[in-house]
Amino acid sequence: MTKPDVRLIRLAEPDNVLMIATALAAGEALDVAGETIPLPAPLSLGHKIAARPIAAGETILKYNFPIGVAIADIPLGAHVHVHNVRSDYTPTHVIEEA
């Protein structure tokens, strides 16, 4: 059994995201579900990564609470944020060209 990466926190068992517990630099490797995932960009405290692959259209769960819907497939260990999630509880603002 692989030891959990202490820099990642699962807030509730059903969650499909993990919370970042400390600032991480680009290139740092995380152990996610037994796989080593290098971070392509820095992530700060509180950001989310995928605990498993998440399909487009799937609900994002944090604290076992639906916080949004994936708008694209999200691979294991990828950053889960406004670029790939539509929020269920705050408006999503898009600046449209005039």
- The model's pLDDT over 25-69, given as tens digits with 9 standing for 90+, comes to 999 999 999 999 999 999 999 999 999 999 999 999 999 999 999
Domains of the chain by residue range: 8-87
The residues near 94 (Cβ < 8 Å, ≥ 6 apart) are: none
> Which residue's structure tokens are 């820099």?
7
**What CATH class does 8-87 carry?**
mainly beta
Average pLDDT, the chain: 90
